[in-house]
Structure 1
């Protein structure tokens, strides 16, 4: 208690105030024996979503925007820095991140504090760290969605007259600038055109068409591109590696396609996929991602499309129902079918394949492209596109999707408008048209028996198709069809040589138009006869050898050793 005596003498309690004395002594003891606050358990660091955690901190980490980075780098090196920049592009491609990187590049002073503007900011100096953390006093970020009035712009114009406090440039980052009012835009024009030397404006927007042309003309514009799916998949693989998460390449490709060129959207989906994978350690699988996003199975889509092209309605509808029962939206299935037809058409044109596609998907599209004609693909695209729109508006989406598939199956067996016009001119039967009602006559009269127009042989049928205007179909049959059996109205061809499903359908319709009979065209595993062209080549070669073996020709060759047989019957078929 000796240590308390000075304190008691300094401010003793009044005499007789025992309660006050006890309180006073208690407070003194508390001060004297103060050991500080009890230790608290360390709070875990708050989780940051991947889109924020892996926000680009340097231009090298900004994926898919090489052209813009090169332009900015050259401008900084040559000291040709514009006073206002406008970044435009779809969501999540890095517009705001690019604005912050430009702010760091212009205000970086280097680790030694002596650096100047650079395309590679150090990230360790005070301006770089303060800008990255969003606390730099001279880098002002403003969301035009909530600060879109003329008063907000007046604050900017008033503050821009004062020099920067600690940075090289005072920078205003205005996000979603297209949401500013007309009066606010007009108030900003003069300052935006001739700002003080120490001020830079960085504008970002997703809807550049809503920004007045007077503002666009005062800015250096950068159109940020959608990030390719292969680059996104590679970026997501690096993120998974840093997070210690295993992921199938096919799963990352699905995430990249679902992101539609947006890094932020893709990272958000990847965050969800990691959470969806759980703690079992199995990693992210393509099946899980497809189920999580409600995407249709690519293999199932190929099966449905195959059934549609083969006019197999039960298989097509069963595949659609299985996708629907598995939780896939019918509109998603229609969209996947549209993507497949579009990819097949691009493959037929000869464009480079999508690097994010699987080998199986690529091989299937190339096979379809080799077998399907452009008219069939264009017709199928229009039918599926109409079906997609109907499903989007339908009260019964799955029923609307089924009807759309049935319409596509039915239309695949119909001839094109040009063929219909030729049939109308020739007076032939029109598929789908009702037969005319017989005229009422006073008394029935016997009709003469019409001659059967069915050719007796398969080559005769091919010639009849050629004469009727089916030139392409006749050429395909003449060069590629191997006959197994021709017994009208049945035709069996060999399946050892691939024949496209649309060729069989077109042949069935064409022969019905020629003969008026319903034909059954099937494929068999038997090898079949040689093609018509091969048979013609064999006959032509035999004729050539017979001519060369004749005494007259042999004598002419002996007299003229350099003479050659220039023409003979059937030469055109093997020339």
Structure 2
């Protein structure tokens, strides 16, 4: 075939250059631009400047050359005007497409950024083309020009001679001044769809005489990320890696190993294990893919991509028709979309995005990826914050707690006490329950009297704060005393209203530390409309009451009256027996006052 012969007979040309489009018919994925240019050429509405923008490898420079060819297309005796219909090579076509035509000047703006370079263009545009119809200036990466260079180009760009056309290409359209954009017709070249890239890669492989598995083509198209040049470069590498002289077949396993990708089927298995909360299985699957060469960050990226695919299937079922997705992924993805809720998928997506950044910056990527999977699996049975607040307001915890005890118990028995409130996972639909197989028949509930009570219970808010004090966590104890107005206290559940300037994350810190200290799962949520006071507020109010009571006592009133300006500084409350022993009898009250008066006279 042509590819093999060229490789042996002379200098090898990479596929991205060998199969570069030479006409608008060869361009793939840019149909809106082609239609606009065709209508403009047919009606004679040809602009003086064009701005082509898009990501790398979508064909900006190639389109600029094809545009220059269309402007100067000429077939003696048949075609003498600009046209985008170029079925055969014209007089100037070969030289233009090879970048060596004297009237089509290509300039790399990244290496010609100054005013002097633009001044050369301004001086040269006055002269007519040597042989072509138009003199075309192609400036690649035009956003690299300096501000002064852009300003120097403005006048010529707005009113160029009729024989001059400008074509600009850039990947950073936001860096181009608006004064330049307003003088150009702008075309945004789109990323090429995966299905279109698969077709292109298949045709190129066939032309090169190379057999390649369809799954390998899909891998290359996904790795190309919408870039034809990147996809062809990866295909070039895959052919060199996998297609030997004895076996000219490029297999998917070889492409996966070359790219360091994860096995897509194993990624789906990993997704299922994580969503079901099977942490040990998920870690084993990740380690297995790491052992065969898959990078942990790439595995998480593929896991995030599949999460996104399942989410799209749930919202847009037609997404299952994408030919770039293997049949196995479409089938299992549709099943996941039916069982998983949007909140579960969106939370997994957010945790994966954050985890990918952590893995990419970690000194031990595999360990970091393990911890990401552990977090996602651990969050399997947690509701979102808004759902937790809604459940709290609706009283779902109490109803769930009462429903969990079948038949109740006899009055007065030890088991008649109210059962502890269920954890959040008992109310919210857990992730692992959504993805697991149909639940088996539940086993009989144990008798109420056999249920074991938690080791530590708090009947009052003061008891909980005192318990925190016994753990010597002084900052947390002070924060609870000053900034928390209790609203609800049940086993496993705390609700309070923050006041003042509480520390950030007070509720989550309290829940985490209580869970560690007690061995039970605790949840702390914030609420509004508390009717109780903080402990500090209650203490201050009680102190004011004690002072008022002391001021109304006859003995204290007599002392305050005898000494003008005196005030009560502190009131200390002792036990009843201590008070009875310390205070004198009522008959001695007058004697005490007399003694005080005598002492002051002396």
Asked if these proteins are the same fold (TM beyond 0.5), I'd say: yes
Cα distance in 1 for partners of 2:131, 2:390 equals 82
- Figure out how many residues of one structure are paired with residues of the other and give that number: 424
Match of 1:378 in 2: 346
The corresponding residue for 1:293 is: 259
Q: Does 1:138 align with 2:106?
A: no
Q: Kindly state the Cα deviation for residue 192 of structure 1 after the two structures are TM-superposed.
A: 0.4
Residue from 362, 367, 379 that aligns with 1:394: 362
> Which residue number in structure 2 is paired with residue 337 of structure 1?
303
Tell me what 1:406 maps to: 374
1:220 maps to 2:188:
no
2:121 equivalent in structure 1: 156
Q: Given the two structures, how large is their TM-score scaled by the length of structure 2?
A: 0.66
1:327 to 278, 293, 315: 293
CA distance in 2, matches of 1:205, 1:223: 10
Distance 1:339 1:159, change over 3 A: same
Deviation at 1:380, TM superposition (A): 1.4
| 1:247 counterpart = 2:204 | no
**CA shift for structure 1 position 417:** 2.5
Structure 2 residue ranges without an equivalent (≥5)? 1-7, 399-411, 448-491, 494-518, 521-602
Show CA shifts across 1:456-485 (max 9, x none). xxxxxxxx99xx995989xx99xx977634
Deviation for aligned residue 1:92? 0.6
Q: Provide the C-alpha distance between the structure 2 equivalents of 1:283 and 1:248, rounded to a whole number of angstroms.
A: 8
Contact 1:64 1:228 in 2 (8 A): yes
Name the SS for the 1:304 alignment partner.
Answer: helix
Q: Deviations over 1:118-165 (max 9, x none)?
A: 112244222112212222110000000111111110000100000011
Shift of 1:248: 1.0
CA distance in 2, matches of 1:53, 1:427: 67
Give me the whole-angstrom Cα distance separating, in 2, the residues matched to 1:315 and 1:112.
74
Residues 425-574 of structure 1 aligned to structure 2 (within 5 Å): 449-451=414-416, 484-488=441-445
CA contact 1:121–1:128 (8 Å) conserved in 2: no
Taking the aligned partners of 1:64 and 1:316, their CA distance within structure 2 comes to 39
The answer for the alignment partner of 1:526 in structure 2 is none
* Alpha-carbon separation, structure 2, partners of 1:66 and 1:470: 52
Distance 1:203 1:448 in 2: 87
Query: In structure 2, how many angstroms separate the alpha carbons of the residues matched to 1:111 and 1:287?
Result: 53
Deviation (angstroms), 1:360: 0.5
Query: Does 2:315 match 1:349?
Result: yes
Tell whether the 8 Å contact from 1:139 to 1:170 is kept in structure 2 after alignment: yes
Cα distance in 1 for partners of 2:364, 2:46 equals: 57
2:52–2:188 contact (8 Å) kept in structure 1? yes
Asked whether the 8 Å contact 1:100–1:132 carries over to 2, the reply is: yes
Match of 2:573 in 1: none
Secondary structure of the structure 1 residue equivalent to 2:160: coil
CA deviation profile, 1:420-466 (whole Å, cap 9, x unmatched) = 4367665969xxxxxxxxxxxxxxxxx97242778xxxxxxxxx99x
Query: Aligned pair 1:105/2:73, yes or no?
Result: no
Find the counterpart in structure 1 of residue 233 from structure 2: 268
- For residues 256 and 331 of structure 1, the distance between their equivalents in structure 2, rounded to whole angstroms, comes to 19
CA shift in 2, pair 1:65/1:419, >3 Å: closer
Deviation for aligned residue 1:44: 3.0
2:214 paired with 1:284: no
Give the Å deviation of 1:343: 0.8
| CA 1:418–1:175: 2 relative to 1, 3 Å | closer
Q: Is the 8 A contact 1:110 1:122 kept in 2?
A: no
Cα distance, 1:267–1:427 mapped onto 2, change above 3 Å: closer
Indicate how the Cα distance of structure 1 residues 130 and 376 shifts in structure 2: closer, same or farther if over 3 A, else same. same
Residues 139-148 or 105-114, more deviating? 105-114
Counterparts of 1:328 and 1:220 in 2: how far apart (Å)? 45
CA distance in 1, matches of 2:390, 2:59: 57
Q: Cα offset for 1:394?
A: 1.2
Contact 1:123 1:129 in 2 (8 A): no
